[in-house]
Amino acid sequence: MSEPLLEVDRLGVEFVTRHGDLRALDGVSFSMAQGEILGLVGESGAGKSLTGRAIIGLIDQPGRICGGTITFEGRRIDNLRSADLRKLRGKRIGTIFQDPLTSLDPLQRIGDQLVETIRAHLPLNAAQAREKAIALLGEVGLPAAADRMRAWPHEFSGGMRQRVVIALALACDPSLLIADEPTTALDVSVQAQIIALLRRLARAHNASVLLVTHDMGVIAEAADRVAVMYAGRVVEIGPVADVIARPWHPYSRGLMGSIPSLREEVDRLTQIPGAMPRIGARPEGCAYAPRCPKAEPRCRMAAPPMIEAGPRAAACIVEPAP
Amino acid sequence: MLHYVLKRIGGAILVLVVVALIAFVLFRFVGDPINQMVGQDVSVADRERLRQMLGLDDSIVVQLARFLWNALHFDFGVSYQFKEKVTTLVAARFPATFELSLAASIFAIVVGIPVGAYTGIRPKALMSRAFMALSLIGVSLPTFLIGILLIYVFAVRLQWLPSYGRGETVQIGFWRTGFLTKSGLAALVMPSITLGLFQLTLIARLVRAEMLEVMRADFIRFARARGLSERAVNFRHALKNTLVPVVTIIGLQIGSIVAFSIITETVFQWPGMGLLFITSVQNADIPVMAAYLMMVAIIFVTINLTVDLLYLAIDPRIRLGSAQA
Ligand SMILES: Nc1ncnc2c1ncn2[C@@H]1O[C@H](COP(=O)(O)OP(=O)(O)OP(=O)(O)O)[C@@H](O)[C@H]1O
Ligand code: SF4
Ligand SMILES: [Mg+2]
């Protein structure tokens, strides 16, 4: 295997509060290959969005990276100065957020937002940037792209706005796209279209995608591999088909209990009894132990390390590799 | 969009008519104007003659119609105290008040918006904290006290600036301006600061609050994720999105600057409409009071209309003329 595009190694993120430092991410590790689509799943609060934000260096105050490394295109980016990080954002790493209705500046025309992004990173003049913007709008499937340049965000439906957001994310041909729940806020009827578009464009631009979602159906449909997060850690990672068919970590097994298809009502992954511990209230040892049917006394001693088995890995000391 | 504009203009006219009605009621029912105009020794017959001459014995409806018709031409008759046409009096005083209010508004806006933006972008910076503390004082000190303090420091102690009046003025057509002479500009400094300070702090605090709010918006996060410069994020996206509420408040505040100029004009003996109004209140000079009322109403309405039209320029969502407006 060639050098990975992105390598996240034991990443820690903490929020500095009056009641002490809260570890939101506690040793997140995974890597992504060039052109790969990696799904990131897990319950609400597991740290999926935070992982994406840490990569682009946009963690909300008062959070900060407190350990580990992020290596992207062969260089460390977790300790870059903000000016250098800005050059990566939008240029080498594109981002798509959950809610297209609020992602676009309501007071700026679609075309201007595209041209602005393109010109922030590429040495193009206004006319060239405009041409590129029109081409991008065409590529994401907006009919009559040239006429749409002058449109305002509020004139578009949610699905169309998400297409514009995708065009913005792809504007400078990034090698990595971070898509944080790109379809959660959309109508069920357009979710599948957007996922298909994202997949097609990522392939066409040879971009990798870190696809954050609650929806195992989306993962099954779009991702090559999947990483399962629980309480600030990756607890299992492997090829989608393997993880879905034969989940290794007991938590993954709980998740895969029922996989809704894209066209069904989105399942909110609530079938596992109990709740994920809040940050600051995580137990010693395996954080899943209080809910785990397989838990043994030794699970509560120390946090289980990732155990590798071929293309798969999981952080469980009880369950044997499948 | 045309619908929106017409609706606003219709509203403005309605407000003016209502104010004219109030002015009429004031005119007709507060005291007996004849008593104000003539001395004790004037005979009843002479009083009646005067009453007829002024049309004060016509029916209410006729008087109201005449009043509205005259008000439409901004004709409020003759001042009781100066025995001069009110229109002439107000026209002579209007430029002074206008220039003072303009200078105070510009001061409040040009200082208030950048200060608000800065404190909103860097809420934790020392400068921001200092401003927030200072602004509390600015909001709580009464206008006349600020004026008197300024006079004490800059006119009495340091003797840098004149303590009263407009300085030298230049007559251009019907307009007497203080903008063109050095002493005119010097005389403008303290009154405009006094008059604009409250509005400055208000605008700055509003811009700050709006900035803090907008900075948390998704589209700002997304603008950062697109790799835009801090400058573009802060000004092109964040500040612009605070403008709709800020313009609203600025519009309202300019209105109150005109209204509050009464106090500032009194403190600095500024020969404007406010000072004229104060003397007319003291002398129950109702025509002048009515004219002042109409004048202030016209200014308020004009500003509000301008604000509504500015919305159109700023926010495309209003242009639809849909429910969002
Ligand atoms: N600004 C913040 N201040 C304090 N804690 C935060 C902040 N942002 C996130 N966290 C904490 O970090 C943890 C991870 O949050 P994150 O948004 O990554 O969750 P998520 O997996 O994306 O969940 P969801 O599916 O709901 O989006 C949460 O437990 C949350 O409490
Ligand atoms: S380590 Fe123990 S508690 Fe944790 S998942 Fe495995 S079996 Fe369950
Ligand atoms: Mg999230």
- Residue A132: which CATH number? 3.40.50.300
CA torsion, points B35, B41, B42, B44, in degrees to nearest 10? 80
Half-sphere exposure of B172 (CA within 13 A, CB side): 8
- Band (A270; pLDDT cuts 50, 70, 90): very low
Q: Which residue has the CA at smallest separation from atom 3 of ligand 2?
A: A289
With contact defined as beta carbons under 8 Å apart, do A129 and A121 qualify?
no
Please state the rounded mean pLDDT for residues A185-193. 87
Asked if residue A190 is part of any domain, the answer here is: yes
Q: Which residue has the CA at smallest separation from atom 9 of ligand 1?
A: A50
Mean pLDDT, rounded, of chain B:
84
Asked if residue A281 is part of any domain, the answer here is: no
Asked if residue A96 is part of any domain, the answer here is: yes
Q: How far apart are CA A198 and CA A220, in angstroms?
A: 14
- Band (B319; pLDDT cuts 50, 70, 90): low
- Band (A70; pLDDT cuts 50, 70, 90): very high
Asked if residue A287 is part of any domain, the answer here is: no
Asked if residue A21 is part of any domain, the answer here is: yes
AA letter at B65: A
Q: How far apart are CA B22 and CA B102, in angstroms?
A: 27
- Band (B119; pLDDT cuts 50, 70, 90): very high
Asked if residue A317 is part of any domain, the answer here is: no
For residue B325, pLDDT over 90 is answered with: no
- Band (B320; pLDDT cuts 50, 70, 90): low
The DSSP-derived string for A162-217 is HHHHHHHHHTT--SEEEEESTTTTS-HHHHHHHHHHHHHHHHHTT-EEEEE-S-HH
For residue A20, pLDDT over 70 is answered with: yes
What pLDDT score does B322 carry? 44
What percent of chain A is modeled with pLDDT above 90? Answer: 72
- Band (B211; pLDDT cuts 50, 70, 90): very high
Q: Which residue has the CA at smallest separation from atom 1 of ligand 2?
A: A316
Q: Considering only CA atoms, which of B185, B203, B179, B242 is closest in space to residue B109?
A: B203
Q: Measured in angstroms, how far is the CA atom of residue A97 from the centroid of ligand 1?
A: 14
- Comparison of pLDDT for A78 and A275, the residue scoring more: A78
Top-ranked range on mean pLDDT: pick from A84-88, A224-228, B42-46, B305-309:
A224-228
List b or e across A202-234, with b for residues whose CB sees 16 or more CB atoms inside 10 angstroms.
Answer: beebebbbbbbbbbbbbbbbbbbbbbbbbbbbb
Asked if residue A205 is part of any domain, the answer here is: yes
Please state the rounded mean pLDDT for residues A209-225. 91
Q: What is the pTM of this model?
A: 0.82
Range of the domain at A195: 6-261
Rg (CA), chain A: 20
- List the single range of A96-105, B197-206, B316-325 with lowest mean pLDDT: B316-325
Domains of chain B: 86-282 (1.10.3720.10)
Q: List Cα–Cα distances, A194 to A7, A91, A182, A214, B287, in angstroms.
A: 27, 22, 8, 16, 70
Query: For A132-147, what is each residue's pLDDT tens digit?
Result: 999 999 999 998 889 9
Q: How far apart are CA B109 and CA B206, in angstroms?
A: 12
Nearest CB to A102; choose among B219, B224, B228: B219
> What is residue A314's three-state secondary structure?
strand
Q: Measured in angstroms, how far is the CA atom of residue A264 from the centroid of ligand 1?
A: 27
Please state the rounded mean pLDDT for residues B296-316. 84
Q: Residue A228 CA: which ligand is closest? A: 1
Q: How far apart are CA A225 and CA A242, in angstroms?
A: 9
If one counts the domains in chain A, the total is 1
Please state the rounded mean pLDDT for residues B41-57. 77
Query: For B212-267, what is each residue's pLDDT tens digit?
Result: 999 999 999 999 999 999 999 999 999 999 988 888 888 888 888 888 888 899 88
- Ligand 1 pocket, A68 CB below 6 A? no
Q: How far is A179 from chain B (nearest CA, A)?
A: 12
AA letter at B30: V
Q: How far is B226 from chain A (nearest CA, A)?
A: 4
Asked if residue A83 is part of any domain, the answer here is: yes
How many CB atoms are located within 10 Å of the residue A258 CB? 10
**Ligand 2 neighbours by CB, cut-off 6 Å:** A 249-250, 286, 288-289, 292, 294-295, 299, 304, 316-319
With contact defined as beta carbons under 8 Å apart, do A287 and A241 qualify?
no
Q: How far apart are CA A281 and CA B308, in angstroms?
A: 52
Q: Measured in angstroms, how far is the CA atom of residue A296 from the centroid of ligand 2?
A: 7
For residue A51, pLDDT over 60 is answered with: yes
With contact defined as beta carbons under 8 Å apart, do A196 and A37 qualify?
no
For residue A50, pLDDT over 90 is answered with: yes
